[in-house]
Structure 1
């Protein structure tokens, strides 16, 4: 029984590791092309944007996603998932309300692309906040193959959209690509959670 558990653990670890490795390879191979399509300022804005969204989205769940893995009872894990999901919605709505108000402030109104960030930012918090929530739920359900496939698909969509919009001279392409990649990841995995679990 112990050997069977170890064998399954190694198999699942290699599956996730391989998916993560392949995703990194895709990103690395795309970097030279992206660097020709986007300016250092575009990458700087993108990095700043990702950092802010990541911090806020990680706070939005209050780390309830970690608690999903603890209970053995399926119903208890499900309640934790719903609680975390509800918190993410509240955080997203909060920023969806406060950001338009900030547009009336002269400093923020003078920033380029502020209207775009106002629309996308709350949605980004929602999708990224659900990222770890759904992953931990699927780990709890031992759906490692699904996680791996979704991650690879997410990276492919992110890179493809970023390259396409960069070619079309859309300087927001990096943010849009990252955003759409998260949407694909969320739709694929969340639909599985709803339909199967």
Structure 2
């Protein structure tokens, strides 16, 4: 099992490294093509799109690895498809509201952004179920790397916010198209003809995912959206741009490793032969991530301001100050990010939802207190301080979890 997980992780990680190398390498170019105000407005738009994208299938897509039989998996895909169409359509009035409220004319393309981001998530799990990790790596490269390249090209054309917005939308649609093959059993057209009663039965069987994981995922994504709104209201679009750029780069290592590791970890936990084996796998993963997070956090504390000013230009110097304040939070988030699939595999979504809601309160308490007492830099330190206790409790709970479902040895 360890060798299987290592091979899958390395395959996904190789794609992730290439996919994230381009955005990271092109970041200093982007910060010289676009202003902090452009980044702040784009971050708000993309945060709203991401908020809707994480629930585009009501999280039924995360049940795909639990269905071993092709016919039942195809039925679950049909359920996901219908919900995805509905959520994409419902995102149109949200986009029009943003256009009216914030004056962001780009928001009318919100449904395409939701489809792009949500489609990659949904069909990525379809590929995970089939162990098509090479395809996943390629799609990730198209989605992440392609977005950055297009943003640079559109920035050279002086398109401003339109350039930042269209890049990830078009790249995400291309990655979704790649992941749509091979089609589920019977083909895509047959999915649309599945009887409603069969879809309802499948929905009832996996009801824990929409009941518990959907609000959990939505609340997690909503955190970024509300944080940007709060910062923009308090200090303006440029401050929101500083915050967005800081988190984009600081969370890049967690996104890079976390996405690859979680997609490989999830099926391994689902098919663990015993509770002890599953618990050992989680503890080993946690320790490895902690050893990797320590030097990252230390580097940010020591050299964060200098590194960001050198890389992105003096107009972005405030981002480095944020990086120093967020160092502890980023280190703990690096460990926690890949572990999000653990409660899915262990069917502990109700507990995870309750804890996530507590985490939201803790996060915003730290953010608001920091903004009040220390401005934008104070917000970073406030978040780090408040979230430290939350993450430490979360790690201890997973490491000592007792009620773990497992497969019976053949």
Indicate the TM-score class for this superposition, using the shorter chain for normalisation.
0.7 to 0.9
Looking at structure 2, the residues matched to 110 and 12 of structure 1 have their Cα atoms a distance apart, in angstroms, of 43
CA contact (8 A) 2:60 2:76 kept: yes
Q: Which has the larger radius of gyration?
A: 2
CA distance in 2, matches of 1:13, 1:55: 26
Aligned to 1:108: 100
Would you identify which runs of 4 or more consecutive aligned residues in structure 1 move more than 3 Å?
97-100
For residue 163 of structure 2, what is the aligned residue in structure 1? 173
Q: Give me the whole-angstrom Cα distance separating, in 2, the residues matched to 1:96 and 1:85.
A: 18
Question: Which structure 1 segments of 5+ residues have no match?
Answer: none
| In the alignment, structure 1 residue 16 sits paired with structure 2 residue 8 | no
Who is 2:73 aligned against?
77
Cross-structure match for 2:45: 49
TM-score, length basis structure 2: 0.42
- Shift of residue 65 of structure 1? 1.0
Output the TM-score relative to the length of structure 1. 0.85
CA–CA distance in structure 2, aligned partners of residues 23 and 143 of structure 1: 17
Aligned to 1:186: 176
Q: Which residue of 2 aligns with 1:125?
A: 114
- Number of the residue aligned with 2:141: 152
Pairwise CA RMSD? 2.2
Structure 2 unpaired stretches of 5+? 188-410
Q: Give the one of 59, 66, 75 matched to 1:63.
A: 59
- Is 1:94 aligned to residue 90 of structure 2? yes
The aligned length equals 185
8 Å contact from structure 2 (residues 67, 73) kept in 1: yes
| Native 8 Å contact 1:127 1:182 kept in 2 | yes
Q: CA deviation at 1:98?
A: 6.3
Instruction: Report Cα offsets for 1:19-63 as digits up to 9, x if no partner.
Output: 212222211110010000000011111111111111112123111
